A and B are shown apart, each in its own frame.
Chain A
Amino acid sequence: MVNNCSRIGFVSLVEYVTFGAEKPNIRMSDLQNLEALVTQVRRDILRQVHKVNSGHPGGSLGCAEFFVALYQELMDRNEDFSMDGKNEDIFFLSNGHISPVFYSVLARSGYFPVDELNTFRLLNSRLQGHPTTHEGLPGVRIASGSLGQGISAAIGAALSKKLNNDSHLVYTLCGDGELQEGQNWEAIMYAAGNKIDNLVVTIDLNGQQIDGSTDNVLPMGNIKGKFQAFGWDVLEIEKGNDLDAVITGLKNAKSRTGNGKPICILLNTVMGNGVDFMMHTHAWHGKAPNDEQLKVALSQNPITLGDY
């Protein structure tokens, strides 16, 4: 068990780069190191989608800080991956299209070799376009891609933990546009009505979806008010691309679990964050940069831990 309280996971950048792939679930520590990891994760995202000229960089870039904070600072994770995830915190990615950030952080947290990011979306790869258990990729516990299913699975896993007297938490990330899927609201109703209080659902509020802004495609009104009306404990992270703020917000959420209500985090992010020409637009939701664009994007995110 890697215990984030004791910070035994601290490793130097050199050690991390050299041995990261062999040491499962390595945990970095101070903020500077984590910032460096965020930058490297952005590079990983851009290079993955560029290589195969497909994939979803926009939402991935917007959630780099969230994933780094979650896997490096928040989750109490076991050294070896097991599907059952007993006696550890577990995470479900509901908006599976942001697989590039998920894969990067899983690899750089030791779940599989970082070099495997080279196989993203290629034939016979474990790194499918959208995450799946089908190819046996460590770190993934359910397939996602068809939207709206993650909260339900997370509730199930949270109930399983309660039945197993396992006090660990279940985390999920959903897109804001994804909330347009009706199944979410079935799940949101169930979780509050049945006091699923070992569950932390984060909504990536970037205000964008494929066809435009969420306000234009299908206005969702007051999302905070909706979750509150359903009986959830809702907190907001105003600066979802400020690593320190994300860590603080996630820790706050964690401290509020176990009180009879499911927890919702509204995470305000900028789609395409960290690459100036990708920010504040839905244009890069599912589009890869060309060679020239990649060069510019990478120049804005210089190598920190080393490219795969």
Chain B
Amino acid sequence: MKKYTNTGSKDTRSGFGAGLTQLGKTNSNVVALCADLTGSLKMDEFKENHPERFFQVGIAEANMIGMAAGMTIGGKIPFTGTFANFSTGRVYDQIRQSVAYSYKNVKICASHAGVTLGEDGATHQILEDIGLMKMLPGMTVINTCDYNQTKAATLAIAEYNGPVYLRFGRPKVANFTQEDQTFEIGKAVHLQEGNDVTIVASGHLVWEALIAAETLNEQGLKAEVINIHTIKPLDNKAILNSVSKTRCIVTAEEHNFLGGLGESVSRVLAENTPTPQEFVATKDTFGESGTPAQLMEKYGLNAEAIVKAALKVIARK
């Protein structure tokens, strides 16, 4: 088994901030817009370095999305920043018409996704955003797993021409992927090789999947762990190749099982090779207040839940 080391826990939103800071220096077309959450989104450094390219829009997300769409006309590459809830549900129609249908080069960068936002509770947590965004034709949907990957993704989406939804989170989590990695949009990352079960994970659940694979290994079961950071376009080939060996799959995500990564994977399998699948995801519910760890446990979003799902799906083969 490959060994992965946590080089020091960091929040994924800081990876976004670091990426944006770098882009500020390297790409003069990059502009940033924020709806009164500059500190939470870690956009302060960009703001300080490039005040002329930073736009504080106030608590007015609809206008922010529309402005971002307009700024692409003239060649700017706008990065919008607010919480995932306010980046998607609150402004769905603005994104749909002004960004997606108009195919504008806007990067919608969303922090505090999922239940790990924690104590603020369900009004600020969102477990439906991946579904909302992946349903939009032409929208690229990315959910990164750690600081390094989030930074790399932030840099990569600036080079891509088209609308992107980049989803990341609030809490400090293990930082285990390579520093200065190349991020390939739409390309799955193989983390462990195995023949008994495929575990496909996204976002904060990737580290949990690696822990689960170790537990399964202790029980003599070899799990293939794949990090799907791009939910759309999905790396169908990576999934199909893996299940051709393992013949069963667990999907793991901090999102509702309706509309998330798991459903995207199900469709690919149903169309090509129907395969037993278990979903580690929230089950059509809102979140609530609590610490991130408490919430991940209560809603079945940790390594223990992945192990349980893996054993169940292996038995269904």
| A interface, CB within 8 angstroms of B | 83-86, 90, 92, 132-134, 141-146, 148-149, 151-161, 163-164, 166, 182-183, 186-187, 189-190, 194
Contacts and interface: CB of A to CB of B under 8 A. Distances in A.
B73 A83 contact: yes
Given A183-B62, A183-B63, A156 B102 contact: no
20 contacts: A84-B75, A85-B74, A86-B74, A86-B75, A141-B73, A149-B97, A149-B98, A155-B66, A156-B68, A156-B72, A159-B55, A160-B75, A160-B76, A163-B52, A163-B76, A183-B62, A183-B66, A186-B62, A189-B60, A190-B57
Contacts of A145: 97
A98 to B, nearest CB: 16
Given A83-B73, A149-B66, A190-B63, 7 more contacts: A143-B97, A149-B94, A151-B66, A156-B67, A156-B73, A160-B73, A190-B67
Given A84-B75, A153-B67, A144 B97 contact: yes
A92 B69 CA distance: 12
A25 to B, nearest CB: 18
Contact of A143 (B53, B78, B98): B98
B70 A152 contact: yes
Given A143-B98, A149-B94, A156 B71 contact: yes
Contacts of B96: 146
A156 B97 CA distance: 15
Contacts of B94: 149, 152, 183
Contact of A146 (B52, B78, B97): B97
Contacts of A161: 74
B55 A153 contact: no
Contacts of A142: 69-70, 73, 98, 102, 104
Given A85-B74, A157-B74, A163-B31, A143 B101 contact: yes
A82 to B, nearest CB: 10
A134 B97 CA distance: 10
A203 B135 CA distance: 34
Majority secondary structure of chain B interface residues (helix, strand, loop or mixed): helix
Contacts of B67: 152-153, 155-156, 159, 187, 190
Nearest to B91: A183
A56 B65 CA distance: 27
A187 B65 CA distance: 11
B290 to A, nearest CB: 33
Nearest to B67: A156
Interface residues of B, number: 32
Nearest to A158: B70
**Residue with the highest number of chain A CB atoms closer than 10 Å, among B60, B68, B70:** B70
Interface of B: 31, 52-53, 55, 57-58, 60, 62-76, 78, 93-94, 96-98, 101-104
Contact of A164 (B60, B62, B72, B75): B75
Contacts of A152: 62-67, 69-70, 94, 98
**Residue with the highest number of chain A CB atoms closer than 10 Å, among B58, B63, B78:** B63
Contact of B60 (A153, A160, A186): A186
A35 to B, nearest CB: 32
Given A152-B62, A183-B62, A190-B60, A164 B103 contact: no
Nearest to A140: B102
A156 to B, nearest CB: 2
Q: Which 7 A-B pairs have the closest CB atoms?
A: A156-B70, A152-B66, A160-B74, A153-B70, A186-B60, A186-B63, A156-B67
Contacts of B57: 186, 190
Nearest to A142: B102
A157 B102 contact: no
A84 B73 contact: yes
B68 to A, nearest CB: 6
A161 B71 CA distance: 9
**Residue with the highest number of chain B CB atoms closer than 10 Å, among A134, A166, A186:** A186
**Residue with the highest number of chain A CB atoms closer than 10 Å, among B67, B71, B73, B97:** B73
Contacts of A155: 63, 66-67, 70
A152 B98 CA distance: 10
Contacts of B93: 146
Nearest to A182: B62
B86 to A, nearest CB: 13
Contacts of B62: 148-149, 152, 182-183, 186
Nearest to B104: A142
A148 B60 CA distance: 13
Nearest to B106: A156
A157 B75 CA distance: 10
Contacts of A134: 101-103
B103 to A, nearest CB: 7
A132 B104 CA distance: 12
Given A160-B75, A183-B94, A132 B70 contact: no
B75 A156 contact: no
B40 to A, nearest CB: 20
A133 B103 contact: yes
Given A142-B69, A159-B55, A186-B62, A166 B74 contact: yes
A133 B102 CA distance: 5
A103 B94 CA distance: 23
Contacts of A151: 66
Nearest to B57: A190
Contacts of A189: 58, 60
Contact of B73 (A149, A157, A194): A157
Contacts of A190: 57-58, 60, 63, 67
**Residue with the highest number of chain A CB atoms closer than 10 Å, among B53, B96, B98:** B98
Nearest to B73: A157
B100 to A, nearest CB: 9
